[in-house]
Structure 1
Amino acid sequence: MNTSEYSKIYEGNFILINRIKSELENNGIVPIIKDEGESQRLAGYGSLNQGFQEVYVHNDELEKATVILEQIKTEMDASS
């Protein structure tokens, strides 16, 4: 993944990441989920980042993805 083509829009636990991923996909955006903890576990190393993930989107979709992310954050704040 060339980092100049993708931007990180969110980082957090896998439950929130799944919600964001689902909403992005429902709107035609294909996010990339980076899970360092799982990669380390599969390689045989211990990890303090278990369950912590990052969401990246292509820069062409960044503006649309940011709007969707803000809507999700607003919904989460309203329900807390």
Structure 2
Amino acid sequence: MKTNYKKIYTGESFVAQQIVSQLHGMGIEAILKDEAESARLAGFASSMLGQVDVYVHKEEVEKANAVVQTT
């Protein structure tokens, strides 16, 4: 599947929320993907509790990576 979004962070939910907040403050739209929460809502269990992914549009990866490195 072809996508225009790239993963810039995988890790703790708390840190991911901070990153997303900073990105939104810069005008960069970020997507937070929580596999454990998605599995829970679908009625399944997940072994990746607390681990989430942050995605941004591929044209904003460079600016977004600067935020990840300082967080």
TM-score w.r.t. the length of structure 2 is 0.90
Aligned to 2:50: 51
CA RMSD, aligned part only?
A: 1.3
In 2: Cα distance, 1:53 partner to 1:35 partner: 5
CA distance in structure 2 between the aligned counterparts of 1:70 and 1:51, rounded to whole angstroms? 20
Question: Which one has a larger percent helix, Structure 1 or Structure 2?
Answer: 1
Q: What's the CA shift string for 1:31-59, capped at 9, x where partnerless? A: 01111100100110111112210000000
Q: For structure 1, which runs of at least 5 residues remain unmatched after alignment? A: 73-80
Name the structure, 1 or 2, with higher relative contact order (CA <8 Å, separation 6+).
2
Structure with greater strand share of residues: 2
Q: Is the partner of 1:48 in helix, strand or coil? A: coil
- Flag structure 2 segments of 5+ consecutive residues without an equivalent: none
Give 1 or 2 for the bigger CA radius of gyration: 1
Residue correspondences, number? 71
> Which residue of 1 is the match for residue 4 of structure 2?
5
Instruction: Output the TM-score relative to the length of structure 1.
Output: 0.81
Task: Work out whether 1:24 is the aligned partner of 2:23.
Answer: yes
CA positional deviation for 1:22: 0.8
